[in-house]
Structure 1
Amino acid sequence: MEVEMNGPDLRERVRRVISETLLVPVAQLADETLIKEDLGADSMQAIALLISLDEEFDVEFQVENLPPAGLTVGLLCQYVSDAIQTGR
């Protein structure tokens, strides 16, 4: 699937997946929104989110490459973009 790597389409798709997985409104998801701290995602929800992103973008995330705290919507967008570009 062809995706514009840093474009608004990618960001909107990531936000939609976050919204659907964590049951929060898309309007609440700014780049600086913290996944655990602001949205209240627990560890299981964070894993479910990564699985959903894996499926949506056909990439495989390496959990150890993500920060243990301070994970934001913007960082997830960048991580997805990087994973697509490198073919992970």
Structure 2
Amino acid sequence: MPETRFTIRWPDGQVETCYSPSTIVRDFLAADTTYPMTDFLALCQTALTQASARVEAKFGYRCTSAEAQLAAIESRARTFSTSADVTCLSIA
């Protein structure tokens, strides 16, 4: 299962590289695309939950790294207004 990294820019300009254990994140996020915060969170929740489920289907256990990444994104997102935007800069 190929790991995927996606780089985002938060509303304050800070850039962060995020982890997914699966390429499924490409089905939900696109490079060079800006999302309203609520949409971004929903897309990440779906993508990283499905990525963790793919790991479970293949190896018999969920991916704690994907779950930790989602928790970190959710925590950081709470520091911004729900009307703020997040930009996905790249997916590799």
- TM-score band by shorter chain is 0.3 to 0.5
Question: What's the TM-score once normalised by structure 1's chain length?
Answer: 0.37
Q: Which has the higher contact order (CA 8 A, sep 6+)?
A: 2
Greater fraction helix: 1
Greater fraction strand: 2
Q: Which has the larger radius of gyration?
A: 2
Question: What's the TM-score once normalised by structure 2's chain length?
Answer: 0.36
